[in-house]
């Protein structure tokens, strides 16, 4: 019908009709913008999902390929509990890791509840590929440790992870925490970039490579890697089991 109608039109009328049709069929400016938004939204959405997935996989402890056992605890380790304890727990952890933040209150409660029956050591395993502030956080804890407040900074970093974890200037956060802990801020800032602190964190990371750890947190009880507990009761049962084997 449309083609037959055009046969009876003048040339100028046909041109006018074609212009009208083109205008009608061409997407509106708003439609073009919407189409672009949907296109880029899909791309960005996929990227966000990919990043979240990588972070999730990186933070889950995948330790089926662990080879060897942790190095013995030395005076350079940060330790709570008795050196004569029958059960030793060593955790390789990342201050920016969400799973580590979930494990933190369980470990703290275990140390409080079991007291001198256990010995707990914290070691650094910053997943720098996916946690941009994790290495600096480890250094902040070490710098605080040089002023006798490693555990205080350790607790603060986990408790305030949501504040500094995505910060583009995490150093500013850490300096603030140093002030709250009444540290010498000038010394803290200097130690934060010192070779000694850098080497301490690097030594711990080298240890994780030696025993082929796959993620964080990686927890050993008496040199045996465990599946990360989903609750404090699970952790408590594992500790009690280890205690029963070492009366």
Please tell me whether residues 110 and 145 are part of one structural domain: yes
Query: In this structure, is residue 177 part of a structural domain?
Result: yes
Please tell me whether residues 156 and 216 are part of one structural domain: yes
The string of pLDDT tens digits covering residues 221-235 is 999 999 999 999 999
Higher pLDDT, 128 or 31: 128
How many structural domains are present in the chain? 2
Domain that residue 166 falls in = 78-245
Residue labelled with tokens 């080497």 = 199
Question: How many angstroms separate the first and last alpha carbons of the chain?
Answer: 96
- Residue 151 CB coordination number (10 Å): 16
User: Residue 153: pLDDT above 70?
Assistant: yes
Q: Look at residue 247 in the predicted model and tell me its pLDDT.
A: 80
Task: Name the token pair of 92.
Answer: 């390789």
CATH number at residue 199: 3.40.30.10
Query: In this structure, is residue 95 part of a structural domain?
Result: yes
The string of pLDDT tens digits covering residues 21-32 is 444 344 444 445
Please tell me whether residues 224 and 112 are part of one structural domain: yes
Residue 98, burial from CB neighbour count under 10 angstroms (0-12, 13-18, 19+): middle
Q: Is 2 helix (H, G, I), strand (E, B) or coil?
A: helix
Please tell me whether residues 100 and 189 are part of one structural domain: yes
Q: Look at residue 34 in the predicted model and tell me its pLDDT.
A: 44
Please tell me whether residues 44 and 104 are part of one structural domain: no
* pTM (predicted TM-score): 0.76
User: Residue 169: pLDDT above 60?
Assistant: yes
């Amino acid at each position: 019908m449309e083609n037959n109608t055009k046969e009876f039109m003048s040339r100028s009328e046909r041109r006018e009709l074609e212009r009208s049709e083109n205008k009608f069929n061409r997407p509106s400016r708003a439609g073009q913008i919407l189409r672009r938004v949907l296109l880029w939204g899909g791309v960005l959405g996929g990227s966000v999902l990919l990043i979240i997935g990588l972070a999730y996989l990186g933070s889950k402890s995948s330790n089926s390929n662990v080879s060897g056992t942790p190095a013995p605890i030395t005076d350079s380790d940060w330790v709570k509990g008795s050196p004569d304890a029958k059960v030793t727990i060593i955790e390789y952890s990342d201050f920016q890791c969400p799973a580590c933040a979930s494990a933190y209150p369980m470990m703290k409660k275990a140390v409080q509840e079991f007291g001198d029956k256990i010995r707990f050591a914290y070691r650094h395993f910053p997943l720098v590929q996916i946690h941009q502030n994790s290495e600096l956080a480890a250094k902040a804890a070490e710098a605080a440790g040089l002023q006798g407040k490693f555990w205080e900074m350790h607790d603060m970093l986990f408790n305030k992870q949501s504040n500094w974890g995505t910060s583009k200037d995490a150093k500013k956060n850490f300096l603030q925490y140093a002030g709250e802990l009444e540290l010498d801020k000038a010394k803290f800032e200097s130690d934060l970039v010192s070779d000694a602190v850098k080497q301490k964190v690097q030594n711990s990371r080298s240890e994780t490579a030696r025993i082929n750890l796959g993620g964080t947190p990686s927890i050993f009880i008496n040199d045996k890697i465990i599946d990360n507990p989903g609750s404090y009761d699970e952790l408590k049962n594992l500790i009690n089991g280890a205690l029963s084997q070492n009366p």
